[in-house]
Structure 1
């Protein structure tokens, strides 16, 4: 089923569906990287749009007990600007 996207809200550019990688975050301590997510991507400015059914599926995948395909080691740093 082809998903239909409107023109970009920000720049008016054409939005077409592509597969992207999403950093799914829940609070401060939960991060899951989800690959191959169908999203509308503006061809002019790069803004990404996710359909509601895709977000619901991402939530299921992120919180599932299925073993991860890969574990990444991610450094966490803090910015110390006054």
Structure 2
């Protein structure tokens, strides 16, 4: 498979990505199976995986295994 952005080689890997619910609250998904370009870093996730992620994000309540607390830093002047 070649990258649609730059034509580079794609590798299979598992990675973590932050997605956002409609209320803008972040949800971190880990171990997502995806293809990543070795040249530009573009990531491609298969349709069945994106559908599963979308269904989780649409749910009223998300059951998670762990919670992540991160600092928020404003760069506003």
- TM-score, normalised via structure 1 length: 0.73
Match of 1:20 in 2: 15
**What is the RMSD of the two structures over their aligned residues, measured on CA atoms?**
2.0
Which segments of 5 or more consecutive residues in structure 2 lack a partner in the other structure? none
Aligned residues between the structures: 76
Q: Stretches of 4+ moved more than 3 A in 1?
A: 61-66
Q: Mean Cα displacement is larger for which, 57-66 or 8-17?
A: 57-66
Residue 8 of structure 1: aligned partner: 3
Q: Kindly indicate whether residue 43 of structure 2 is the aligned counterpart of residue 29 of structure 1.
A: no
Structure 1 unpaired stretches of 5+: 1-5
